């Protein structure tokens, strides 16, 4: 997979930007707040229709504009595609080769990316919500149907929570509507949990192998899904359905008292273990960084395994955060294999010998010089 060019209109601090040629490795150099991260963020948004930095689309639109537009031509193994995404206060419009896509899920996956940024350390040491978001975004890239079930689940969850808030002190006969929402919540929740378990199993295979290499065989990395209602290894949908139903019946009174749904994939988590010890609690900062790096490198291989070609790699201000050994491990992974975009404040913090063939783009105040 290869990004040939990109154009931006009214995106963040870019009034207009047109870059017509990229290389295998692209260094985007500039001081802070000049727009280098905005450029790689635009590629991420084009791939997933949402930012890795904010959940508010209006923040992506230039201050004095009513819309933002991102377009790029990409090469895939089956041919070239022109992708366009427009963001406005009315919503999003996506096009593939000039044809508007009625569903964003039909657009997502046209461009596959792996983003590695300093905040990705939070996948290891942050809250369960960060890890769930990581799973949702990565699975959604390679399995569009997952996004459908996730969107439906989230809508039903809101409705169910609204109903729970009205049920405190009501007779059992007035609680019948809860059974209707339960059936719908379980239908989509089971699909989400099953896909997450399958994804983690594949990610485990690659992450364990890569982590062992980075640590010279001294550390063994294990991933464990922590569901709120089932055995971590169970994938049979009928069994999951029954387990979810039983769990909801067990917590029903507590849910009504609190007015929130207490079981389901929105409450699940992901844990990381090095040599049997949980990294979030017992891991050193170096081990946490290496775990995050192993996950990202594993994502690259997993996507290639799933779709038959490598994704585009986006490294946002992350190489300078790694020691020389981890920099070398990362660079050797993507060179000659994965088109890569790297942002940095200067080349002096990077392993310049390993990046001597990179194309360099200088960014200053929303202007880019190649």
217 marked as binding residue:
no
36 marked as binding residue:
yes
Tally helices (H) and strands (E) across the chain: 11, 15
37 marked as binding residue:
yes
367 marked as binding residue:
no
35 marked as binding residue:
yes
Q: What is d(CA 28, CA 41) in angstroms, rounded to the nearest whole number?
A: 12
33 marked as binding residue:
yes
The single residue listed with the structure tokens 């692209």 is 26
Q: What is d(CA 104, CA 208) in angstroms, rounded to the nearest whole number?
A: 33
Q: What is d(CA 96, CA 350) in angstroms, rounded to the nearest whole number?
A: 36
30 marked as binding residue:
yes
Pairing of strands 221-226, 269-274: antiparallel
Q: Which residues have a Cβ under 8 Å from the Cβ of 142 and sit 6 or more positions away?
A: 109, 112, 302, 303, 306, 307
- Environment class of 319 (CB within 10 Å of its CB; exposed 0-12, middle 13-18, buried 19+): buried
Residue numbers belonging to the annotated binding site: 30-37
Residue numbers belonging to the annotated binding site for ATP: 30-37
């Amino acid at each position: 997979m290869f990004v040939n060019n990109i154009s931006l209109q009214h995106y963040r601090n870019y009034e207009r930007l047109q870059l017509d040629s990229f290389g295998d490795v692209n260094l985007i150099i500039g001081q802070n707040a000049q727009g280098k991260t905005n450029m790689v963020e635009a590629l991420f948004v084009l791939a997933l229709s949402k930012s890795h930095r904010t959940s508010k689309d209006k923040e992506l639109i230039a201050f004095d504009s009513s819309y933002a537009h991102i377009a790029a031509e990409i090469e895939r193994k089956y041919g070239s595609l022109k992708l366009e995404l427009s963001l406005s206060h009315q919503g999003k419009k996506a096009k593939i080769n000039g044809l508007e896509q009625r569903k964003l899920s039909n657009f997502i996956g046209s461009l596959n990316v792996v983003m590695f940024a300093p905040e990705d350390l939070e996948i290891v040491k942050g809250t369960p919500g960060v890890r769930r978001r990581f799973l949702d975004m990565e699975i959604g890239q390679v399995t569009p149907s997952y996004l459908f079930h996730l969107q439906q689940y989230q809508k039903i969850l809101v409705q169910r929570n609204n109903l729970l808030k009205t049920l405190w002190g009501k007779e059992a006969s007035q609680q019948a509507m809860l059974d209707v929402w339960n059936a719908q919540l379980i239908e989509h929740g089971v699909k989400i949990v099953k896909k997450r378990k399958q994804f983690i199993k594949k990610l485990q295979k690659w992450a364990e192998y890569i982590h062992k290499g980075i640590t010279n065989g001294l550390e063994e990395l294990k991933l464990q899904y922590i569901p709120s209602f089932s055995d971590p290894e169970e994938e049979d949908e009928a069994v999951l359905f029954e387990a979810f139903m039983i769990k909801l019946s067990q917590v029903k009174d507590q849910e009504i008292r609190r007015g929130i749904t207490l079981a389901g994939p929105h409450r699940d988590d992901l844990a990381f273990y090095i040599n049997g010890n949980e990294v979030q609690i017992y891991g050193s900062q170096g081990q946490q960084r290496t775990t995050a790096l192993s996950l990202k490198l594993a994502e690259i291989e997993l996507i290639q395994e799933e779709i038959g070609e490598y994704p585009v790699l986006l490294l946002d201000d992350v190489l300078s955060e790694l020691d020389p050994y981890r920099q070398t491990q990362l660079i050797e992974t993507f060179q000659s294999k994965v088109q890569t975009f790297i942002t940095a404040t200067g080349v002096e913090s990077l392993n310049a010998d390993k990046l001597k063939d990179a194309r360099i783009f200088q960014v200053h105040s929303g202007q880019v010089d190649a």
